[in-house]
Structure 1
């Protein structure tokens, strides 16, 4: 079997979760299915999509809310970027991408949506006048920068809106000045944040009232979380999260002795305190890092283990003011499963009770009945399919293989490279 066929079989997508900035709603994407629960009304959301390309037809790879909560954006393998208005939960615009979409970000002022594709190009949609649905329906995306054929894994706008930060599978983080006119492109590079030794998988900003510009944190396939000053590109601190979690006696599920560097698959800044929640590939739980913005340091504060069941998070989200960290574990199109997609939702609470003097966190995993929205929320976001432990573990292993195939560059012999060049289908016939 050829490599391409093998990769196609393993091309599954992780379940994703996003939380409204004031926790009015929670959205879960698994496969092509988008599920939303309204916590204000206590009811599932019925999505309405009357655009030319209704709903998603393939796996959703990115989902995020705008900072004011008025918009939700989803995008993925069907090359569609969908903009949903959270007032009526209707899709007000569908933008067609040239390639599959790998990351999405919304500017803090809500005026721009940026998305990246697997070819390494970053595009922007100007949302000026988005209250006029007819006007927004005709919006087009324009390219502003590129990473030259490297898959972009994460996008973030800086808190002040001056920069757009893009990370890729070639170990680098690029900080670019966001242009005043998007049609002119983003040609001014502020800095590169270099230091990771494997693909960069996720980005987030940590900030508080005393440090409104914040600092950037990044997770990587090298099992580290790093702290950056984006203005200069300086590496401020490195936390060996995988190694330190292992030294505390936490066993990684499906771990192998020769795999000493489990990838960081997601991280999430918790705004009510200077904490960063980190997901490690194969760890049934999350690692909490304390970020000291004054000293510019990172350190492990607590490892929260999920006990009683196999739960390996694939995505996290939180609001700007609530006490809950939401997590989802799941995968799309897992072979051998009775369901087309699997999702399990959990929440951690207690960050607001953090002891200010000692820095000790008393966060704990909530029981299903204690989660905001209760069992009705879980029924909507998870679906009704029963998830067995062996299926969850198989899903984690499948995702691990899929991520490595996607993000770790393959090494080919000279003969194999020449063979692949001859088989390329992008060569144009000249007349």
Structure 2
């Protein structure tokens, strides 16, 4: 029986790939891509690849798939974390690792407080940890902040005014927690729950409206919807059936389950537009957000012609009004590529203009940037269709909750390799 269980677990692991991730510096100085354990950064100011420096380890800096990357709101910090149970904090000024944080379990999401004083990360057990950046040691010990109790946390966000920290999970819920004055003692006061999604919540983003600076939240989900929330009360303000509106799904819902999950979203134009990536769409959906009416509507569907490009992550460059996208995975089944990534840029992301997908020679940084972030200038185009299917399978394995028989549970207990933090 153990051999059968092991074989089943082995088959599952073969599809547990990591999607490619992308992040753009708030001032547009840098763009970073993570695929598998590789972290690649391009500097627009010098028009060259960045050499990362981590005195604590030799390359690679991460020894397993990176699951989360992001810049701080002011661009003074960058974090990367993932399956190697390690979170690294970098200074974008010199791209030196200023701190390495060890986690007991794999990291699934990260967030940086808007004042730059704290970094939070979530693990696969549903715990959120906090790191105090005021302490001067290189290896910082994380402290428990809050918990979702055995539900994988998929997204973490600080509200723009730093009053709340939001955590979303695979069990359909979004928790809004008051961020305390002394968070090292834990965050125990829940402001609200945003309940309404019928599948896992995959991504969160705030609407940066000046007249309502903290309370309007966007969420994407495996139920193929983008929803608008008032986080102060937890009220659901609007539901947009993006897969139906984009023509991917009939209104009667006849489609393979989880086939049209929203994988990522980001706001542009001060929240007037929302870019949405959907699991089976070769392109993006642009939603118009009416802040005063508190509604969402489909403005445009931007298709990417001539390429098998299904975005796995989106990032906005507010200084140029460009939308950066990446697709790809780590360890693509059936291919010799150790990691596969493709970067595209959409310009003219505006309410009135027609968005344009830039050719490789028109992308800021050009071929030099593509070689840095992709690892090469080109790939077998058919590989990206396989990559899109691999991401679907991996997302289902990670986020669709499964019930294990007794034998499987016992085998999983025996083979766990949680890292216990030393006192």
- Judge same fold: TM > 0.5, yes or no: yes
Instruction: Output the CA distance in 2 between the equivalents of 1:19 and 1:335.
Output: 29
Is 1:379 the counterpart of 2:356 in the alignment? no
Task: Provide, for residues 6-49 of structure 1, a one-character-per-residue CA deviation record: whole Å limited to 9, x for no partner.
Answer: 21111100000000001101000000000000011111101111
What is the aligned partner in structure 1 of residue 171 from structure 2?
A: 170
Write out per-residue CA displacement over residues 377-398 of structure 1, whole angstroms, 9 at most, x where no aligned residue.
1111011264222211011101
1:304 counterpart residue number: 302
Specify the alignment match of 2:413 in structure 1. 425
Aligned to 2:213: 212
Alpha-carbon offset, residue 295 of structure 1: 0.6
User: Closer, same or farther in 2 for the Cα pair 1:312/1:409, shift >3 Å?
Assistant: same
User: Which residues of structure 2 form unaligned runs of 5+?
Assistant: 416-423
Tell me the TM-score normalised to structure 1 length: 0.90
> Is 2:85 aligned against 1:75?
no
Aligned length: 406
Check whether the contact 1:159–1:214 (CA below 8 A) recurs between aligned residues. no
- Whether the 8 Å contact between 2:259 and 2:279 is mirrored in structure 1 is no
The alpha carbon displacement at 1:322 in A equals: 2.5
Partner of 1:253: none
Question: How far did 1:424 drift?
Answer: 5.7
CA contact (8 A) 1:193 1:233 kept: yes
Q: Counterparts of 2:378 and 2:363 in 1: how far apart (Å)?
A: 19
- Cα deviation, 1:86-109, whole Å, max 9, x if unaligned, reads 111111110001100000011111
Could you tell me how far apart the structure 2 residues matched to 1:380 and 1:53 are?
20
Q: Helix, strand or coil: the match of 1:196?
A: coil
CA contact (8 A) 2:346 2:355 kept: yes
Return the TM-score normalized by structure 2: 0.92
1:344 is matched with which residue?
A: 342
For residues 306-353 of structure 1, what are the alpha-carbon distances to aligned partners after superposition, in whole Å with 9 as ceiling and x for unaligned? 00111111001113332111000110001222320000000111125x
Change (3 A) 1:411 1:53: same
**In structure 2, C-alpha distance between the alignment counterparts of 1:273 and 1:409, rounded to whole Å:** 33
Does the CA-based 8 Å contact 2:215-2:232 persist in structure 1?
A: no
1:127 matched residue in structure 2: 133
Q: Deviations over 1:103-147 (max 9, x none)?
A: 001111111111000000000111126xxxxx1414221111000
Structural mapping, 1:317-332, within 5 Å? 317-332=315-330
1:273–1:351 CA contact under 8 A, matched in 2: no
- How far apart, in 1, do the equivalents of 2:267 and 2:316 lie? 8
Distance in 2 (CA, whole Å) between partners of 1:366 and 1:119 is 41
1:127-178 CA-to-partner distances (Å, cap 9, x unmatched) read: 126xxxxx14142211110000000000000011000000000000000001
Name the SS for the 2:244 alignment partner: helix
Aligned pair partner of 1:391 in 358, 380, 383: 383
CA-to-aligned-CA distance 1:275-323 (integer Å, 9 cap, x gap): 1100000110000011111111011100000001111110011133321
Residue 202 of structure 1 aligns to a residue in which SS? strand
Change (3 A) 1:40 1:385: closer
CA 1:257–1:141: 2 relative to 1, 3 Å: closer
Alignment of 1:248-267 (within 5 A): 257-259=255-257, 262-267=260-265
Asked if the contact 1:271/1:321 (under 8 Å) is kept, the reply is no
Is 1:223 matched up with 2:224?
Answer: yes
Look up the match of 1:107. Answer: 113
Q: 1:8 to 1:237 in 2, by over 3 A?
A: same
